[in-house]
Every structure is written in C-alpha cells, then in structure tokens.
Amino acid sequence: MNSILRIFSLTRVPSLFWSAPTPLSLKPPLISILCLFIGLSIFGFGHAILFGANFGVSPWMVLSQGLAIQFEIGIGLSIILISFGVLLFWIPLKEKPGIGTFINFFVVAAVIETALPYIPYQTDISLKFLQVFLGILVIGIGGSIYLIANLGPGPRDGLMTGLSRKTGVPMAYVRNGLEISAVSIGWLLGGTAGIGTLIFAIMIGPVIVAYMYLLKAIFDK
C-alpha cells in the first residue's frame, strides 16, 4: 500500500544514469540521446498499437478533431496549433525545451507510420480491450524512458511535468486532469471519443508514473 502511495506522490521526473545534466545541453551524453530515441520509438509503437485497437483515438486527438471541425481546418494543422498553444503554457511554468521537444513529433510520427501496417486491426470487442491496455502499457514505458533522458519533453508531457513541479500535485493526477480535460473539450467541439479514449485518459498518467517509479527502484542504487 505504501509503495502505491509513493508512486502516486511523484512530482518530479527521476534522474537516472541516462539522464542529461540539463535539457539545454549542447553536448548531451550519448546514452541520453540513445535513450531518448529508444523511448520515443517505444512511445510511437504504443500509439500504433492503440490505433490498431480501433476503439477510439487518444484524448488530444479528439481535441484536434473538434478544433478542426469548428474552424474548418485540416487535422494536421489542428494538431500543430494545439501543440504550439500548449508550448505557450510552458512559459509561466518555466519548463525547459530541448532536442527531445523538437524531434518528438518526427520520431513518433515516423514510428507510427512504419508500424501501423503490421499492427492487427481489431474487430472483436475483447481483443479491442486487450490491445488498448497493451498500447497504454507500451506508451507508458516509452514515455518514462524518454522523459528520464531529460532532453526535453513533448508539449503535453512538458505541461504535465511543469504543472506538477509548480503546484506540487503528483504527476499522475495532473496527467489524468489534462487528458480528461482534452477529451471533454474535444467532444464538446464535435470530436469523436470511444471507450478506448476514456480508458487512455484514466490510465496513462498512473502508468507513466508507475514505470518511472519502477525504473528508479531498479537503477537508482
């Protein structure tokens, strides 16, 4: 019970042997760069698994859909506008960008595009649930590895870590709040949410933080 409470009390990303000294490092350690790419690749693969489940898109994609509908713009432009909008919230939070912030989109998108043709597209309801849970677990480990690399989070992950650090509210709760807010606003704007969307919104925060705690327990000796 105490271990579970400690997991949900994390307000900062742990620093481990592959963590860079600062996100703005001009010459980051090779291990940090390697783990950044490994983490982002796993992160992207997890999203491909989630897409293949055919059980609802991620909460921020629902928001992107809703914005695209309301302003009659393309989904790609909507995603870019939301990402830049989220980055603006980093300013008062004093969240620091890094190379990971800028390559995040490219690596994740490339992995999703590459992996999707090989991911089973589910029609059976039980397999949909199974694949959603698997996707969330894979996204969680990938997200924790790349965040611990400390080379700059993606826009949404940076908003999570910045708000948690600034307010003292554990990251798991902050992430849940962000995901639920995104899907709620997106749905009100006309975006489409599924059961998998809601499962993702509830689970992703605790899963990422649980992996961080596990990695810290294993490597922080």
Of the candidates 217, 72, 47, 212, the one whose C-alpha atom is nearest the C-alpha of residue 132 is 47
Q: List, in order, residues 6 or more apart from 161 with CB less than 8 Å away.
A: 12, 13, 95, 147, 153, 171
**What pLDDT score does 180 carry?**
95
Q: What is the mean pLDDT of the chain?
A: 91
CA 147 vs CA 6, 22, 123: distances in Å: 19, 12, 33
- Euclidean distance between CA atoms 211 and 58, whole angstroms: 20
Please tell me which residue, 76 or 182, carries the higher pLDDT value. Answer: 182
Question: In the structure, what pLDDT confidence band is assigned to residue 213 with cuts at 50, 70 and 90?
Answer: very high
Range from 78-87, 122-131, 169-178, 202-211 carrying the lowest mean pLDDT? 78-87
Per-residue pLDDT reduced to its tens digit, 56-73:
888 998 999 999 999 998
Domain boundaries, the chain: 27-219
Question: In the structure, what pLDDT confidence band is assigned to residue 2 with cuts at 50, 70 and 90?
Answer: low
**What pLDDT score does 43 carry?**
94
**What pLDDT score does 216 carry?**
92
DSSP 142: H
Of the candidates 155, 131, 135, 153, the one whose C-alpha atom is nearest the C-alpha of residue 144 is 153
Per-residue pLDDT reduced to its tens digit, 106-115:
898 889 889 9
**What pLDDT score does 66 carry?**
93
Question: In the structure, what pLDDT confidence band is assigned to residue 4 with cuts at 50, 70 and 90?
Answer: low
pTM, entire model? 0.91
Per-residue pLDDT reduced to its tens digit, 105-164:
889 888 988 998 999 998 999 999 999 999 999 999 999 999 999 999 999 999 999 999
* Helix or strand holding residue 198 (H, E): helix 195-219
